[in-house]
Amino acid sequence: MPSATQDVTGLLLAWGRGDSSALQKLTPLVYRELHALAHRNMLRERPGHTLQTTALVHEAYLRLIDTQHVQWRDRTHFFAMSARLMRRILVDFARSRGYQKRGGGARPVSLDENVDVAHERNADLVALDDALAALAAVDPRKSRVVEMKFFGGLTAEEIAEVLAVSPDTVLRDWSLAKSWLLRELKRGNGHDR
């Protein structure tokens, strides 16, 4: 869909320049993808989560339109930022609900993109967020790769475009970051001590 991608990019650039009508035109073009992104994120949450997919989309959308200092580059940049916001919303929601650091009834975190996370249980999004923050302190790019791939569902090519690196670099970063995060999550659960 090069035409739709170009339309989204053009509208983002116009919106960034202060054209409020561009935002009105942009919304219907990105809503379906934002909803799919939110749905992927909600699949990782515990059953009966009080925050629903549509509410997550709307909260992310409200935060996106409130971000006036972002210089939008293109569609991929927009969805990378959306993934980051949705992650923040879910983590903040989990923390506000008083989930304990290790538990709380969420689904288990699997960093394997081939695993169907919808059928797994007992994850710890807060622990993953803590591990991801620790990774960001050591290697911010690897942390962003995980965020965009795991939370945003972006492809290696899309992530490479956002980070201005090669897709091979993204795949190497993804592999190393998964290993690092899994080790940190095990360590946090009392393993390897």
pLDDT in tens, 74-87: 888 899 889 889 98
pLDDT at res. 125? 79
Residue 90 lies in a domain: yes
- Is 132 among the domain residues? yes
Both structure tokens of 154: 């972006």
Between 117 and 109, where is the model more confident? 109
**pLDDT per position as a tens digit, 123-138:** 477 888 889 999 999 9
Q: Is residue 193 part of a domain?
A: no
Domain for residue 83, yes or no? yes
User: Buried (b) or exposed (e) across 116-137, using 16+ Cβ within 10 A?
Assistant: ebeeeeebbbbbbbbbbeebee
CA-CA distance, 160 to 156, in Å (whole number)? Answer: 6
Reported pTM: 0.69
181: in domain = yes
Tell me the residue range of the domain where 71 lies.
Answer: 2-188
Number of domains in the chain: 1
Predicted local confidence at residue 191, as pLDDT: 52
